[in-house]
Amino acid sequence: MVEYSILQRPAFDVVGVPLRTSRERQKEEIPSHWQRFLVNDRASAIPDRLDDSLLGVYTEYEAPPSSMEYSLTVGCRVSAESAAEEGMVRIRVPESSYAVFALEGPFPEALVDAWEWVRNSDLPRIWTADFEDYRFRAGLAADPNVVLNVAVRGPADIEPEVGAMEQGEG
């Protein structure tokens, strides 16, 4: 069983390198996209970084979910004033409730397993922006700490049922 918690996350900005991919192409395209980002040290070209983490942000999902296309931006959390350099984009990750998975186990297997669980689960996903937050420990770049954040419907996103009655005072 996969364990997760539901947390409310504030909105934040990311500057990074975009990729448009799909479920059919992701296994080939995503690892090479990350590899180019890391080998070319693109993070060092991002001004106004707020921390040392790297993010993989998934946005612009298209239906149907079985073969959907989506965008992946590999980049860094930045200040509100930061601009995107040439070849990069700036995106805003919206405030939302997130199912948060603190992954344990070998990388990338634990991440792949968590995504597979999410795809087959009944999580009330809202398909706005999901993100992976990578924290690299000194000397252990091949085995990062990864937290997967999947946007889900939260209490503020749930409409009251039609016909529901409100109780008033006496």
| Residue burial 127-141, b: 16+ Cβ < 10 Å; e: rest | bebbbbbbebeeeee
User: How many residues appear in the chain?
Assistant: 170
pLDDT at 36 over 60: yes
> Taking a C-beta distance cutoff of 8 angstroms, is the pair 101, 4 a contact?
yes
Q: Residue 105: its pLDDT value, please?
A: 82
SS3 146: strand
Q: Residue 166: its pLDDT value, please?
A: 41
CA distance readout (Å), 128 to 23, 36, 49, 149: 17, 26, 23, 11
Q: Residue 135: its pLDDT value, please?
A: 87
Q: Residue 88: its pLDDT value, please?
A: 96
Binned at pLDDT 50, 70 and 90, residue 104 comes out as confident
Binned at pLDDT 50, 70 and 90, residue 169 comes out as very low
> Cα(89)–Cα(21) distance, rounded to whole angstroms?
16
> Cα(144)–Cα(136) distance, rounded to whole angstroms?
5
Q: What is the mean pLDDT of the chain?
A: 87
Between 160 and 60, name the one with better pLDDT: 60
Q: Residue 153: its pLDDT value, please?
A: 94
> Cα(129)–Cα(93) distance, rounded to whole angstroms?
6
> Cα(78)–Cα(54) distance, rounded to whole angstroms?
11
**pLDDT average, residue stretch 1-26:** 93
Between 137 and 23, name the one with better pLDDT: 23
| Residue burial 8-45, b: 16+ Cβ < 10 Å; e: rest | ebeebbbbbbbbebeeeebeeebeebbeebeeeebbee
Per-residue pLDDT tens for 45-98? Answer: 999 999 999 999 999 999 766 678 999 999 999 998 899 989 999 999 999 999
| For the chain, percent of residues with pLDDT exceeding 90 | 71
First to last CA, the chain: 46
Q: Please, what are the domains in the chain?
A: 5-155 (3.20.80.10)
CA torsion, ordered 127, 129, 130, 134, to nearest 10 deg: 170
> Taking a C-beta distance cutoff of 8 angstroms, is the pair 74, 39 a contact?
no
> Cα(30)–Cα(25) distance, rounded to whole angstroms?
8
